[in-house]
Amino acid sequence: MKKKRRLPFPILFEDDDVIVVEKPAGLLATHTKLAGRIARASQLTAENLLNDYVRKGQAKSRRRVWLVHRLDRETSGVMMFAKSEEVAEKFRADWASLTEKTYLARVGGLPEEEGGTFESYLLEDADGYRVRSVAAPGARRASRGARAPKLARTEWRRLSTADGTTLVEVKLKTGRKNQIRVHFSEAGHPVVGDEKYGGERASRLYLHALSLRFRHPRTGEWLEFAAPPPKGLAPPNPQSLIPDP
C-alpha cells in the first residue's frame, strides 16, 4: 500500500461535493505541460496531493479531485476543488454567477484613484507564458486553432499605502489567467514581486486569494471561506475588509 502523504496546507472545508484548501505560495495548483500521465501525476501540485488524500493512500483507487479554478504558483490563499466531474462542470459552466473571489495585492506606486474597474480583452501568447490586453475581437471568426481574446473585469479599491506601494483589495468579476497581474501592470502599478509583468523583485509575489464565496452545488446555500493575509498583505485596519452594508 502506498504511504499517504501529509498535506502541506490546511483544509478549510470538505464534504461529498467539494474540498476547500489554503494553498501556500510556491505550490503549483495543477500540473504544468508534462509529457505522459505518469509524469503529470508525479509532479508536486495541490491537485496531486489532494488526489492522494482522497484515495487514502490506495494507489489503485479511482477517487480524485477536479480542478475548477486556478491560482498561480506564487499566489497563496483559498482554493476549491470538486469531488466529481459533474460538480466541476457545474462550476465551470457558470463560474461568475456561482462564486465571488476577493484578493489582496500590494502594487508598486501610489494610484491616484481610491478604486476603480479594469476591463479589457486578454489574450495568451502562443506559448501560454504571458498574457496581454488586446483590442476587442471583431466580427470575423478567428482562424482554426487560434486563441480567442476573453473579456476580463477587475474591480479594486485602495486600502493603505506604505513605502511607495499600495495595498489593494481586488474582486474578480471574471477568472482569466494572470488577470490581476496584467491589469495592474498595464495600469503602471505591477504587483510587487511580479518580475514577469514588470514588478520589483521581492521575497514573494504579493498576491493572496483572501476569500472565496460560492453557492453549494447540492444545497444551494452560499458558503464563504477565508485565508488569513500573509505578512506584507495584512491591512492596518482589518475592518476595512468588511463590505459596506
**DSSP label of 243:** P
The reply to whether 163 belongs to the active site is no
Best CA proximity match to 79, nearest among 173, 209, 218, 223: 209
Query: Cα(132)–Cα(64) distance, rounded to whole angstroms?
Result: 34
Q: Which of 15, 72, 163, 194 is catalytic?
A: 72
Query: Cα(95)–Cα(116) distance, rounded to whole angstroms?
Result: 22
Helix, strand, coil percentages in the chain from 3-state DSSP, rounded to 5: 20, 35, 50
The cell 506584507 sits on which residue?
A: 232
List residues with catalytic annotation: 72
